[in-house]
């Protein structure tokens, strides 16, 4: 978790594109924003040409005029480095800066993010534009922060340019030193893939059936992450030389093939996220599941990177590109719900996307606060209400999200699950299961990574860490010995750090303290039944036949595979407990395990809530968020003081569609 910068109170911002509008509109826009509670604008992230219209020709008048105005009216500015959209003159002259498809076809100018991170000339030109912008603008009083690039690894997180192969070779050489070691670690003996010269190594290329050595692929994902981080670091090192004391460096994530925790700790002062829960309502989106509530999962991942983060782009209107993505406008109250969802999960800065809907380009249907007609509308009215609510709870900024339960994640397993369909399927099922189970039990959940301190959690789920290292195994053992409760699912620890499955890795493998062995295992297509414990719980996709040693049997298989044999074990070890559930963790078994360990409904003495309502706590604030488009009821079991109105409530709590209630918890407990 890394954070050098914190907002002191809740703040509202907006994404603004001065280059999209007549300059005569700027002043009116900025003043209008201020009148609605917007105190910060983010600008510049796609506007390279405004500063360098031709190679080596720099002009500053455009943003000088904009910043003059910002300073005149009292608007704060986050300035974006424009490297996500290289100019046409650049890619035309230096096509080697372009990203490519796996077959080598270059991805041309015309959209965005068409560059690669490794081209030496692109890095040089990026370093120069960042330096020019920072040296010219960083001392401007209106500037409060800098955004690096825009959404690193969004839209495409794979890179196949020639420079990527060259950089990948250098990465492998640095990591493995010799080809013998590389061949050994990456299992190239299989299918005669042995490399005899470094020049034979490439980023993945088209192959028959699309199969590529999975261990090399795992390295490739780590390499992409390294490349993105080093690209961001290059920019942040430059910015750091120029920015004013107190100003921050950020970027807006979070995307794939990227170790966001390292990105934040090595390059940023504070991390930001772009939250678009309306994706859940797009044409073709699944109708079941958590829908927009699932963004609480994404926000929890963001919180693990940076406990008090910003939302650089918060959904305000319908999503839509002219090339795809059709979604309805948020319904009355949804903009507030999604805003408060972000705040409840740790956001202290909410910047809406975008001030006015773009009159041109691919995003003409991606609606901002204002429509093309520029008139006040329902969204602006909702913004006014949000701003008024923020005034009442402003000191939530900087407060920690409270969770006793966590789900452990790590990048090697995350990357491996993206490559390995067996691992991927079980990982997805259990992540959903843990998230949904904790949501329905109103048990706040953190996503926890190895770089964090685990000891503050009473219970950790670590569903399927297929890749297990000695270091993590030792930490798990210590966590349990010192009193933690650990819940493991199937397929634990059978892979080494390269994703190979060496002899002797399967449980007990590196984790003898679990006190059970895996005797057999099988993928299962739905085979009915489940795992019988207190009741029969879901056990999808995979089953393991366990043999309890020091552990005791707490569940047995019901279904075709391993019927009536051991499916789940529990062992009291040191001061803690370790549970092994030989399958995936569905929401039902997650709820059961939370109950079994006294962690279901941790605020059950204060409120009784229906399933539709999410509960989150930050400091003294209790957030209750109704995601349903219908009225639901709960009950205040003790008098609850409304944080905004000061009114006290006891008994029936009525939640109107999309309503968010915020109470003060402190006095109650
Ligand atoms: C984000 C991006 C914005 C805008 C928005 C709507 O991913 O950062 O620039 O494109 O989506 O599509």
Position 525 scores a pLDDT of 81
Overall size of the chain counted in residues? 669
How many CB atoms neighbour CB 89 within 10 A?
Answer: 16
| Active-site residue identified among 45, 226, 313, 544 | 313
Alpha helices in 283-403 (DSSP H): 295-305, 334-344, 378-393
- How far apart are alpha carbons 322 and 473 in whole angstroms? 49
In a mutational test of the pocket of ligand 1, which residue from 313, 315, 355 has the highest number of ligand atoms less than 8 Å from its CB?
313
Atom 10, ligand 1: residue with shortest CA distance: 363
313 catalytic? Reply is yes
Position 528 scores a pLDDT of 80
Q: How far is ligand 1, taken at its centre, from the CA of residue 211, in Å?
A: 33
How many CB atoms neighbour CB 585 within 10 A?
Answer: 29
Q: Is 45 in the pocket of ligand 1 (CB under 6 A)?
A: no
User: Which positions ≥6 away from 565 have C-beta within 8 Å?
Assistant: 545, 556, 557
Q: Is 313 in the pocket of ligand 1 (CB under 6 A)?
A: yes
| Active-site residue identified among 52, 151, 540, 601 | 151
Q: Is 325 in the pocket of ligand 1 (CB under 6 A)?
A: no
- How far apart are alpha carbons 305 and 271 in whole angstroms? 7
Task: Give, in order, the Cα–Cα distances in Å from 139 to each of 45, 77, 242, 243.
Answer: 18, 12, 8, 7
Position 3 scores a pLDDT of 83
- R_g (Cα) of the chain, nearest Å: 26
151 catalytic? Reply is yes
Torsions phi, psi for 666 (to 5 deg): -50, -50
Among 152, 171, 168, smallest CA distance to 160 is for: 168
- How far apart are alpha carbons 139 and 144 in whole angstroms? 10
Parallel/antiparallel/unpaired status of strands 11-15 and 576-581? unpaired
Q: How far is ligand 1, taken at its centre, from the CA of residue 313, in Å?
A: 8
- Ligand 1 atom with the smallest distance to the CA of 312 is 8
The token duo for 407 is: 């789900």
Alpha helices in 345-452 (DSSP H): 378-393, 411-419, 421-440
Position 347 scores a pLDDT of 98
Region of 293 (left: φ > 0; alpha: ψ -120 to 50; beta: rest) is alpha
Position 666 scores a pLDDT of 66
How many CB atoms neighbour CB 283 within 10 A?
Answer: 10
Contact indicator for 508, 516 with CB cutoff of 8 Å:
yes
- How far apart are alpha carbons 146 and 77 in whole angstroms? 9
Q: How far is ligand 1, taken at its centre, from the CA of residue 176, in Å?
A: 38
The token duo for 349 is: 């800065």
Q: Residue 649 pairs with which residues in a beta bridge?
A: 640
Q: Is 46 in the pocket of ligand 1 (CB under 6 A)?
A: no
Q: Is 252 helix (H, G, I), strand (E, B) or coil?
A: strand
Task: Give, in order, the Cα–Cα distances in Å from 291 to each of 295, 428, 479.
Answer: 8, 15, 34
In a mutational test of the pocket of ligand 1, which residue from 250, 353, 360, 361 has the highest number of ligand atoms less than 8 Å from its CB?
353
Contact indicator for 151, 274 with CB cutoff of 8 Å:
yes
Contact indicator for 295, 344 with CB cutoff of 8 Å:
no
Contact indicator for 467, 495 with CB cutoff of 8 Å:
yes
The token duo for 550 is: 């020091």
Specify the DSSP element, H or E, that contains 445: strand 445-448
Torsion of CA 173, 174, 175, 177, to 10 degrees: 60
Tokens 């984790």 correspond to 511
The token duo for 150 is: 């825009």
Atom 6, ligand 1: residue with shortest CA distance: 366
Q: Residue 401 pairs with which residues in a beta bridge?
A: 618
Q: How far is ligand 1, taken at its centre, from the CA of residue 446, in Å?
A: 26
Mean pLDDT, consecutive 10-residue segments, the chain of 669 residues? 89 98 98 98 98 98 98 98 98 98 96 97 98 98 98 97 98 98 98 98 95 96 98 98 98 96 98 97 91 98 98 96 92 98 98 98 97 97 98 98 98 98 98 98 98 96 98 98 98 98 96 98 88 96 98 95 96 98 98 97 98 98 98 97 96 98 77
Contact indicator for 353, 313 with CB cutoff of 8 Å:
yes
Tokens 């503050």 correspond to 456
Q: Is 216 helix (H, G, I), strand (E, B) or coil?
A: helix
Among 504, 508, 513, 450, smallest CA distance to 486 is for: 513
Q: Cis peptide before 308, with omega less than 30 degrees from 0?
A: no
Tokens 């109107």 correspond to 656
Q: Is 153 helix (H, G, I), strand (E, B) or coil?
A: coil
Tokens 């940023």 correspond to 268
- How far apart are alpha carbons 531 and 558 in whole angstroms? 6
Q: How far is ligand 1, taken at its centre, from the CA of residue 354, in Å?
A: 9
Q: Is 162 helix (H, G, I), strand (E, B) or coil?
A: helix
Torsions phi, psi for 627 (to 5 deg): -90, -5
- Ligand 1 atom with the smallest distance to the CA of 353 is 5
Among 297, 342, 270, smallest CA distance to 6 is for: 270
Tokens 């075709």 correspond to 560
Q: Residue 12 pairs with which residues in a beta bridge?
A: 350
In a mutational test of the pocket of ligand 1, which residue from 151, 252, 319 has the highest number of ligand atoms less than 8 Å from its CB?
151
Q: How far is ligand 1, taken at its centre, from the CA of residue 11, in Å?
A: 21
- How far apart are alpha carbons 201 and 2 in whole angstroms? 35
């Amino acid at each position: 978790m890394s954070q050098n910068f914190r907002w002191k109170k809740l703040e509202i911002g907006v994404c603004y594109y001065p280059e999209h509008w007549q300059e005569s509109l700027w002043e009116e826009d900025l003043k209008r924003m201020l009148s609605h509670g917007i105190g910060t604008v983010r600008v510049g992230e796609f506007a390279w040409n405004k500063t360098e219209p031709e190679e080596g020709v720099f002009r500053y008048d455009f943003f000088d005029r904009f910043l003059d105005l910002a300073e005149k009216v009292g608007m704060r500015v986050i300035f974006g480095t424009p490297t996500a959209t290289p100019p046409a003159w650049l890619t035309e002259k230096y096509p080697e800066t372009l990203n490519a498809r796996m077959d080598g076809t270059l991805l041309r100018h015309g959209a965005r993010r068409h560059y690669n991170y490794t081209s030496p000339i692109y890095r040089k030109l990026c370093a120069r534009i960042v330096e020019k912008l920072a040296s010219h603008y960083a001392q401007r009083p209106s500037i409060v922060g800098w955004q690096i690039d825009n959404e690193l690894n969004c839209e495409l997180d794979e890179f196949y340019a020639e420079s990527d192969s060259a950089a990948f070779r250098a990465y492998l050489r640095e990591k493995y030193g010799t080809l013998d070691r590389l061949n050994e670690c990456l299992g190239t003996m299989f299918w005669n893939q042995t490399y005899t010269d470094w020049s034979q190594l490439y980023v993945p290329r088209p192959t028959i059936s699309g199969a590529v050595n999975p261990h090399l692929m795992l390295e490739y994902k780590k390499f992409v992450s390294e490349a993105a981080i080093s690209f961001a670091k290059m920019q942040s090192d430059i910015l750091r030389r120029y920015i004013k004391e107190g100003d921050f460096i950020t970027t807006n994530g979070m995307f794939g093939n990227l170790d966001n925790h390292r990105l934040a700790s090595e390059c940023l002062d504070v991390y930001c996220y772009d939250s678009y829960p309306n994706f859940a309502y797009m044409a073709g989106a699944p109708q079941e599941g958590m829908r927009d509530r699932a963004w609480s999962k994404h926000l929890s991942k963001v919180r693990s990177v940076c406990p008090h983060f910003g939302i650089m782009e918060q959904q305000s209107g319908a999503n839509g590109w002219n090339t795809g993505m059709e979604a309805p406008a948020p319904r009355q109250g949804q903009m507030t719900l999604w805003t408060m969802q972000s705040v409840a999960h740790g956001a202290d800065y909410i910047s809406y996307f975008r001030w006015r809907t773009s009159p041109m380009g691919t995003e003409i249907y991606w609606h901002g606060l204002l429509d093309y007609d520029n008139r006040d509308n329902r969204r602006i009215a909702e913004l006014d209400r949000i701003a008024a609510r923020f005034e009442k709870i402003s000191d939530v900024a900087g407060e920690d999200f409270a969770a006793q339960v966590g789900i452990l994640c790590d990048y090697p397993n995350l990357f491996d699950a993206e490559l390995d369909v067996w691992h991927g399927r079980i990982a997805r099922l259990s992540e959903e299961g843990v998230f949904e189970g904790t949501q329905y039990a109103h048990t706040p959940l953190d996503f926890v990574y190895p770089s964090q301190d685990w000891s503050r959690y009473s219970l950790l789920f670590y569903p399927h860490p297929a890749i297990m290292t000695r270091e993590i195994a030792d930490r798990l053992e210590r966590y349990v010995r010192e009193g933690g409760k650990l819940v493991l699912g199937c397929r634990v620890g059978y892979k080494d750090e390269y994703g190979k499955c060496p002899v002797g890795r399967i449980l007990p493998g590196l984790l003898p303290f679990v006190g059970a062995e895996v005797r057999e295992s099988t993928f299962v297509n739905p085979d009915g039944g489940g795992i019988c414990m207190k009741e029969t719980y879901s056990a999808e996709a995979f089953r393991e036949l366990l043999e309890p040693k020091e552990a005791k049997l707490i569940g047995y298989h019901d279904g075709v595979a391993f019927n009536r044999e051991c499916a789940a074990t529990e062992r009291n070890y040191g001061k803690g407990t370790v549970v092994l559930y030989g399958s995936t963790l569905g929401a039902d078994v997650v709820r059961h395990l939370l109950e079994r360990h006294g962690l279901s409904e941790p605020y059950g003495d204060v409120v009784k809530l229906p399933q539709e309502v999410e509960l989150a706590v930050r400091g003294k604030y209790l957030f209750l968020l109704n995601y349903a488009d219908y009225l639901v009821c709960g009950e205040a079991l003790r008098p609850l003081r409304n944080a905004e109105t000061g009114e006290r409530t006891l008994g029936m709590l009525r939640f109107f569609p999309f309503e968010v209630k915020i109470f003060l918890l402190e006095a109650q407990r």
